[in-house]
Amino acid sequence: MNTADHPVTRDVRQRALLIGTVLLVSYAYFYQGGGWNQNSRFDLVRAMVEQRTLRIDDYQDNTGDKAVYQGHYYSDKAPGLALLALPAVAVARPILRAAGVDPLSPSGLVALSYIATLFAVALPAALGCACMMLLAARLGSGIGGAFAALGLGLGTPLWAWATLFWGHALAGSCLLLSLAAIVALKHDPGRPVLWSFAAGLAAGWATVSEYPAAPASAVLALLMLSVIRSSDRQRQRRAVGGFAVGTLVCVGVLTGYQYLAFGSVLHLGYAYYEPGAFPWMSRGFVGLTYPRIDVMWKLLFGWRRGLLFAAPVVAAAPFGLRLLWKETEHRGVALAAAAIAAYYFLFNASFSAWHGAWSYGPRYMGAGVPVLCVGLAQAWSRASSRWRWGLGLLAMFGAMSALMAVSVTAQPPSEFRCPLVQLYWPLFWAGRLSYNQGSFLRLSEELPGQTHGAFNLGELMGLHGLWSLLPLLAVWVLAAWAWKRLDREDHRGFAKSAAT
């Protein structure tokens, strides 16, 4: 199969842009409030912006996810998410002042935490899903790319993760973007440095954002080498050089942060917890032991965290990767995607705190879900009309479940054995949305009798209950109309070309 048989046309780019825009609006529509994980990262953003330091001493009382080194508090998380949010927050502060809002007031800090989540999590996630369609086009999946992009973006827990200031959605999106750049490197031989640099930077930033992404990034490096092995020496050198530069930029950022924070490029924040803070982290290697069969079952089929319970359409992805494997030209892509997804599955099943505390879906294997969903494009493209109906229904079930999750809370308390039935369904249909009242604020910044927790944009417009989701529904209807218009333009273009 010739790579030139699958160009990325103007129509594909327009549809990818439309999908990315719709997903960005869908993610940005919800603000999930605070929690230990996101507070730890935002505390680091505040420390860098407000005090020009990596120490979160003045902010740490709002989170238990913190490291203590030489008498000072630091975020225990990888720094990539906070560093990515830093420019947006720095730019937003004077804008808020110009609008008459004090950036240090509770309302100003809520706005800044929302902006941080929007630019550092929602935007990369939407961009990754949009690139899914471009990637699928280069792999010969055609319109299957649209199903994969929407199935991933709305029909899996990625929707919930993309509304939280966590690192999972960012890391997974970076891995998907790196994979897309590697495939573009293969299909666009004229720009090896550009695509290889983008691939190295994205794969590296996944690790800067979440330490467990390192093995997945290594898999992508091997895929890049396999893609260029048949190229001439000059192109190989340029591609390897571009990938190396992109990776080294990320290595420099990560090691520089670790040295400035913990005095060594090899020391992670996880090594400096307060005594007794997270006892499970002392088991094995920072909490990692070995994959357990019972945990594997719960990660896939459990009512509390099961990926296939929350997003049953993902079950079709391995079959799609199998179809991709059968095409010799794309065998490496299928193998890399399967290896990354399998790694994250085994990683999550090996972690002592595998359940991920308050989380919708199995968040510790979340960064592997975007790459796994590459198989959805092939599954849709090869499916019969009857099977497409089935895939569509599975995707709709996942999307409805995710909609209830982001509307009520993307952080269901651990007391619920089946959040979908026990929490989401009753609260959603009763119109009791924005359940989480956790805040990004320091304890001293909290105002008695007021909440700075979750909300959606419809509620800010004065709408209540399910009515607050109407503006989002209007965006979806408008997007469907724009999609149909692109269809009509395609038909007219095809008829014109046939006539000539």
Q: What distance in Å separates the CA atoms of residue 341 and residue 216, rounded to the nearest whole number?
A: 9
pLDDT of residue 151: 97
What pTM does this model have? 0.95
Q: Which amino acid is at 343?
A: Y
Q: What is the pLDDT of residue 295?
A: 95
Cβ–Cβ under 8 Å, residues 25 and 123: no
pLDDT score for 3: 43
The tens place of each residue's pLDDT in the chain, 500 residues long, gives 344 456 788 899 999 999 999 999 999 999 999 999 999 999 999 999 999 999 999 999 999 999 999 999 999 999 999 999 999 999 999 999 999 999 999 999 999 999 999 999 999 999 999 999 999 999 998 789 999 999 999 999 999 999 999 999 999 999 999 999 999 998 887 889 999 999 999 999 999 999 999 999 999 999 999 999 988 899 999 999 999 999 999 999 999 999 999 999 988 888 888 887 788 777 888 888 999 999 999 999 999 999 999 999 999 999 999 999 999 999 999 999 999 999 999 999 999 989 888 999 999 999 999 999 999 999 999 999 999 999 999 999 999 999 999 999 999 998 999 999 999 999 999 999 999 999 999 988 888 777 789 999 999 999 999 999 999 999 999 999 999 998 887 666 545 554 55
* Residue 424: HSE in the Cβ half-sphere, 13 Å Cα cutoff: 23
* The two structure tokens encoding residue 221: 């490096």
Place of tokens 């390192």: 214
Write the burial class of residue 14 (CB in 10 Å: 0-12 exposed, 13-18 middle, 19+ buried). middle
